[in-house]
Structure 1
């Protein structure tokens, strides 16, 4: 029989957080993690976060379920009595074995004719699916749930990628690179990210999809830096950028330097309030907008290099 755990979501006053967590570590309870309160700020480039120094910290605590839930709650309330007024129980839920309960947050999702799914997905849920990318979440950005990723994947299903040289700037967990790989793009696909964790996660997902290691060339660093730039191909038929509006514009030197004549660029990570800035910068550089998709406030634009546009060396 599968072991059930109780997951307690607690609200803890910030001034006692460190002491409270320290005591939890020596208690019968299992400390999971804590989340400080943040305020979401709207900026010219999308969103940013600022720590809120007033509101309570959210602390997640686990306990193996051995009795009725109410009996466990009575014991927890007694344990928290000395913190009266500073710690509150916000939510209680029963979860599977704590080590795997987080997986419930990651489910299969359909994007056009393709499915994105973690490797632990119940096979019965995908028995009718013809096209599946197996993507396990990790420390690198990219699970397939965000509208920017999905909109790029929808565009990729409309333009042929077979035999195309592809640069994936901001590759994250490798979703877009792997889509191109399994759909016949020229090898290697160049997967570039500034996050060192991306390399491991891309390797995991490459193996998950039975894609040969040599199909992707993983480059860790900023594509604007010479150490990365010198490892890029002379020309690329397709460049993918899912990194933010200002960052998309900052990458123009690399894009104009490497894009092939009539090559395509997919720009995403754009928010509707900096769309005009991004679009204008690329149009001035010689690109033509072919299509656009929106998911809530997020914008993805498909652009094409003009036929007479030559790489800027």
Structure 2
């Protein structure tokens, strides 16, 4: 029989947070985590987040369910009364004991003729799949669920990447790099990300897809910085950029410098309201839009280099 727990969402005034955490750690309750309340903001570049520095923080407590929910809640209310209204109960939820239940959140997803799936997927669910890209979630961004990733994969399926040198800027877990490697791009694909966790996750997923270690070369850092750019090849046939509108523009000097004649760029992480600014910057630099995809407010654009490179840096 599946074990059930009660998950309590509490609001804790910031002045009481330290005392509350210290005492709860020695109580019968299990402290999950404490987090500030976050407000999602719409900005010119898409979305941002702001922390509410004045309001209460949110704390999550867990308790194995042994009696009725009403009895548990009554005891919890009595327990938190010691803080004289500085701690309040916001929400109660019955949840299954974790173990590996978190894996249920990561399921196989079909994107064109390809499936992106974690390695624990039931083989029967994919028995009719033509192509599978095995991606296990980790600390690096990229599970294949976001519209920007899916739209890039759909565009890539319409292209021939055989023998091409590929830069994947904002590589995350390596989905786009590994797709390119599996479809004949030149080894290594250059996966660039500012998150140090990307290197480990790309290696895991490279092995998951039975590719050799040399298939993908991870470069950690900001590609707009010279010391990072110096670690990349002098020229790329295809550059994938899935970060954000302003970031796409900030990386334009590197793209302009390294893109091959007739090379292609796929930009994503753009939103409807900064599409024109991003596209105008790239058109002014000699790129021409060839295709475009939309997922809700997110925009993905395929562009072709129509200008002669200003310069080529030798590595």
Q: So what's the TM-score if we normalise by structure 1?
A: 0.92
Task: Give the secondary-structure state (helix, strand or coil) at the position aligned to 2:10.
Answer: strand
Distance 2:280 2:195 in 1: 29
Structure 2 unaligned residues grouped into runs of 5+: none
Match in the other structure for 1:110: 110
Structure 1 unaligned residues grouped into runs of 5+: none
By how many angstroms is 1:194 displaced? 1.1
Decide whether aligned partners of structure 1 residues 61 and 188 sit closer, same or farther in structure 2, where only a CA change above 3 A counts: same
What is the CA RMSD across the aligned residues, in angstroms? 2.0
By how many angstroms is 1:180 displaced? 0.8
- 1:169-180 mapped onto 2 (5 Å cutoff): 169-180=169-180
By how many angstroms is 1:148 displaced? 1.1
Larger mean Cα displacement after TM superposition, 41-50 or 2-11 = 2-11
Tell me if the contact between 1:178 and 1:206 (Cα under 8 Å) persists in the aligned partners: yes
Match in the other structure for 1:89: 89
Tell me if the contact between 1:5 and 1:98 (Cα under 8 Å) persists in the aligned partners: no
Match in the other structure for 2:303: 303
Distance 1:244 1:168 in 2: 14
Asked if 1:270 is matched to 2:270, the reply is yes
Decide whether aligned partners of structure 1 residues 20 and 91 sit closer, same or farther in structure 2, where only a CA change above 3 A counts: same
The superposition leaves residues 71-104 of structure 1 with CA deviations (integer Å, 9 ceiling, x where unpaired) of 4333323322323533333333333333434333
By how many angstroms is 1:177 displaced? 0.6
Distance 1:209 1:84 in 2: 56
Task: Give the secondary-structure state (helix, strand or coil) at the position aligned to 2:82.
Answer: helix
Tell me if the contact between 1:293 and 1:299 (Cα under 8 Å) persists in the aligned partners: yes
Match in the other structure for 1:283: 283
The superposition leaves residues 153-185 of structure 1 with CA deviations (integer Å, 9 ceiling, x where unpaired) of 111111112221110011111111111111121
By how many angstroms is 1:62 displaced? 1.8
Decide whether aligned partners of structure 1 residues 254 and 123 sit closer, same or farther in structure 2, where only a CA change above 3 A counts: same
- 1:138-177 mapped onto 2 (5 Å cutoff): 138-177=138-177
Match in the other structure for 1:100: 100
Asked if 1:56 is matched to 2:56, the reply is yes
Decide whether aligned partners of structure 1 residues 208 and 88 sit closer, same or farther in structure 2, where only a CA change above 3 A counts: farther
Decide whether aligned partners of structure 1 residues 91 and 271 sit closer, same or farther in structure 2, where only a CA change above 3 A counts: same
- 1:125-136 mapped onto 2 (5 Å cutoff): 125-136=125-136
The superposition leaves residues 173-204 of structure 1 with CA deviations (integer Å, 9 ceiling, x where unpaired) of 11111111111211100000111111111112
By how many angstroms is 1:282 displaced? 0.8
Distance 2:72 2:203 in 1: 42
Extract structure 1 runs of 4+ deviating beyond 6 A. Answer: none
Task: Give the secondary-structure state (helix, strand or coil) at the position aligned to 2:207.
Answer: helix
> Number of residue pairs matched?
312
Asked if 1:188 is matched to 2:173, the reply is no
Asked if 1:66 is matched to 2:66, the reply is yes
Decide whether aligned partners of structure 1 residues 283 and 93 sit closer, same or farther in structure 2, where only a CA change above 3 A counts: same
Tell me if the contact between 1:288 and 1:303 (Cα under 8 Å) persists in the aligned partners: yes
Tell me if the contact between 1:6 and 1:65 (Cα under 8 Å) persists in the aligned partners: yes
By how many angstroms is 1:139 displaced? 1.7
By how many angstroms is 1:311 displaced? 5.4
Q: So what's the TM-score if we normalise by structure 2?
A: 0.91
Larger mean Cα displacement after TM superposition, 29-38 or 60-69 = 60-69
Task: Give the secondary-structure state (helix, strand or coil) at the position aligned to 2:275.
Answer: helix
